[in-house]
């Protein structure tokens, strides 16, 4: 197999040839068809997330074909197309797992962070955390759903029944969940990098009611906002954009420090919540909703060996939607 491997924080990934992996008990071997590139991959490579299991193969928005089964695995079956997300394993025994909150597991494994991920031609995954994808014929289009879509879905659930919803950072996650919101007949307000007219046009083309820079005030008070941009300074701005009782959902795994802001901006029962990881139930729900909502992902394709270029282009905001690596 071939893989792009991170050996040292802050250094480029290295293209390597490795022995083909063998799935252990409860695991499957997946032949990669596509792996989307997530901002979390940037956080791993740049060292924003502590203690990655180096050397590590990044990538956690995986779509591929099951090629081998480990001991005790009966599903998914050989030849099945599956998706493999960020949450790669949970202990099943800690209080959070027992309560059905496995996204907060005390002893998790994360794909592309603490176990090897999808920037490769093959990956071994926990069979219990791989999802059959019979309704998805295009692996490139489906790959961004496995994190951008899933974390967007969990964030939207935490935003509640908001009818007017603001999305800060109109990248991979926002362009997917905006389509779900429009399908649900919500009014969507897209906030982009200041002056990013291409992203604003993209948002409007997907049915958003308004698009503007993150420094702008929306034309109407919002019921909720979701922050996908990892910029702490946007939290006070988002608080000012929501009405009384409104909610600000922070959807990223990492964010720069939130600056001081007056209590008045939080008062009147506004709230700030964060989203951590996802559950398998989130994945099952979203993978059923996405086809119903007619979600169409916008993708830019890179060969596996160009993973460093894809990461650099993501960091600089050089494309709309999501980058996707293909072997």
Domains of the chain by residue range: 2-145+297-326, 150-274
Residue 280, number of CB atoms within 10 A of its CB = 16
Residue 155 CB partners (closer than 8 Å, separation 6+): 173, 177, 226, 228, 249, 251, 275
pLDDT for res 3 = 98
Taking 50 as the pLDDT cut, the residues of the chain under it are none
Tokens 């009014």, residue located:
187
pLDDT for res 101 = 97
The CATH architecture one would assign to domain 150-274 is 3-Layer(aba) Sandwich (3.40)
pLDDT for res 246 = 98
- End-to-end Cα separation, the chain, in angstroms: 10
97: which 2 tokens?
Answer: 């797992």
CATH of domain 2-145+297-326: 3.90.180.10
Q: Is the pTM of this model over 0.75?
A: yes
State the pairing for strand pair 27-37/210-213.
Answer: unpaired
Residue-wise pLDDT for 173-191, tens only, equals: 999 999 999 999 999 999 9
Residue 1 CB partners (closer than 8 Å, separation 6+): 17, 18, 19, 20, 21, 120, 121, 122
């Amino acid at each position: 197999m071939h893989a792009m491997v991170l050996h040292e924080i802050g250094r480029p990934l290295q293209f390597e040839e490795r022995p083909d992996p063998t799935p252990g008990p409860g695991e499957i071997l997946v032949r990669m068809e596509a792996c989307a590139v997530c901002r979390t991959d940037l956080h791993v490579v740049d060292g924003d997330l502590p203690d990655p299991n180096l050397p590590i193969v990044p990538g956690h928005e995986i779509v591929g074909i099951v090629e081998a089964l480990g001991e005790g695995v009966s599903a998914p079956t050989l030849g099945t197309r599956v998706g493999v997300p960020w949450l790669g394993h949970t202990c099943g025994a800690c209080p959070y797992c027992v309560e059905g909150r496995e996204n907060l597991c005390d002893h998790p494994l994360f794909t592309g962070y603490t176990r090897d991920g999808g920037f490769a031609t093959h990956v071994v995954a926990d069979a219990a955390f791989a999802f059959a994808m019979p309704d998805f014929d295009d692996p490139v289009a489906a790959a961004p759903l496995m994190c951008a879509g899933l974390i967007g879905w969990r964030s939207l659930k935490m935003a509640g029944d908001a009818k007017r919803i603001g999305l800060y950072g109109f990248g991979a996650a926002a362009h997917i969940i905006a389509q779900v919101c429009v399908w649900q007949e919500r009014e969507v307000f897209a906030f982009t990098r200041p002056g990013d007219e291409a992203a604003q046009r993209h948002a409007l083309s997907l049915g958003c009611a308004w698009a503007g820079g993150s420094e702008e005030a929306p034309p109407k008070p919002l019921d909720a906002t979701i922050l996908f941009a990892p910029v702490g300074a946007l939290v006070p701005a988002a608080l000012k954009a929501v009405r009384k009782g409104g909610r600000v959902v922070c959807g990223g795994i990492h964010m720069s420090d939130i600056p001081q802001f007056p209590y008045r901006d939080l008062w009147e029962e506004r709230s700030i919540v964060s989203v951590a990881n996802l559950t398998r139930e989130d994945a099952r729900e979203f993978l059923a909703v996405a086809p119903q909502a007619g979600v169409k992902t916008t993708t830019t394709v890179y060969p596996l060996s160009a993973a460093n270029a894809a990461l650099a282009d993501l960091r600089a905001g050089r494309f709309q939607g999501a980058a996707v690596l293909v072997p």
